[in-house]
């Protein structure tokens, strides 16, 4: 994809601060981090989002996510992680190339991800049945 920001990073057309790379995946520091060490992990092969990605690419990506987490434990003393992927514009996806955010976490860091909703067991049962 000639106009894809992440494809340009993969090709070297746009510089990045890479932290992990293999034949299938590249990982680099987010230029607008939620926390220091916030890293993006992407497949080198273009796909719009996780739903459109191949299982093979996702397997490589998740292997790289694990390696990135090990690096963040060593470098920023991460105590935990949020691993997220915004899929679709309504979910906040801004670059339409499959990617995962690996955000290092520390106890008491104040980062809140989202509010929870109250639901009944009956509502959950109906939804689960509909999804199946």
Report, as residue numbers or ranges, the catalytic residues. 99
CA distance 97 to 95: 6
How far is Cα 79 from Cα 58, in angstroms, rounded to an integer? Answer: 25
In whole angstroms, give the CA distance from residue 35 to residue 40. 12
Q: Alpha-carbon distance 101 to 91, whole Å?
A: 14
Residue position matching structure tokens 């590249």: 26
């Amino acid at each position: 994809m000639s106009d894809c920001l992440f494809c340009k990073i993969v090709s070297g057309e746009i510089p990045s601060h890479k932290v992990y790379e293999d034949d299938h995946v590249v990982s680099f520091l987010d230029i607008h981090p939620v926390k220091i060490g916030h890293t993006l992990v992407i497949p080198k092969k273009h796909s719009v989002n996780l739903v459109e990605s191949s299982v093979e690419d996702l397997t490589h990506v998740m292997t790289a996510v694990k390696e990135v987490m090990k690096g963040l434990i060593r470098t920023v003393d991460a105590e935990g992680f949020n691993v997220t992927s915004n899929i679709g514009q309504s979910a906040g996806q801004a670059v339409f190339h499959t990617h995962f955010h690996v955000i290092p976490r520390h106890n008491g860091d104040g980062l809140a991800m989202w509010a929870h909703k109250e639901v009944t067991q009956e509502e959950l049962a109906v939804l689960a049945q509909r999804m199946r």
